[in-house]
Amino acid sequence: MPMAEVNGVKLHYETAGDGTPLICIHPPLLTGEIFNYQKQQLAPICRIITFDVRGHGRSEPSSLKLDYTLITKDIVALMDHLDLDQAYLCGYSTGGSVAMEAMLRYPDRFLGGILISSMSEMTDLYNIGRAWAASVFAKLKATKLLTAAITWGNADTNRTFRELLRCAVVGDRLHLHQYFEACCQYHCTSRLRDIHVPVLLVYGEKDRSFHRYARILHQQLPDSQLHYIPGAKHQIPTKNPDALTKLIRAWFAELLALHDSPQHNQTPVQGRSTEAPVHPAPLGVVYQEDGKEVERSL
Q: What is the dihedral of CA 206, 210, 214, 217, to 10 degrees?
A: -170
Contacts 24+ apart (CB under 8 A), 263-269: 269/198, 269/223
More confident residue, 270 or 210: 210
- Res 286: pLDDT: 41
pLDDT tens profile 92-142: 999 999 999 999 999 999 999 999 999 999 998 888 787 777 777 676 666
Phi, psi (degrees; rounded to nearest 5) at 151: -70, -35
pLDDT in tens, 218-242: 999 999 999 999 999 999 999 999 9
Question: How far is it, in rounded angstroms, from Cα 96 to Cα 121?
Answer: 11
Mean predicted confidence (pLDDT) in 254-258: 88
**Confidence class of residue 36 from pLDDT cuts 50, 70 and 90?**
very high
Taken in order of first residue, the domains within the chain and their CATH numbers are 3-297 (3.40.50.1820)
Residue 124: phi, psi to the nearest 5?
-85, 140
Q: What's the pLDDT band for 294 if we cut at 50, 70, 90?
A: very low
Q: Is 223 helix (H, G, I), strand (E, B) or coil?
A: coil
Q: Which residue has the higher pLDDT, 69 or 1?
A: 69
In terms of DSSP bridges, do strands 284-289 and 292-297 run parallel, antiparallel, or are they unpaired?
Answer: antiparallel
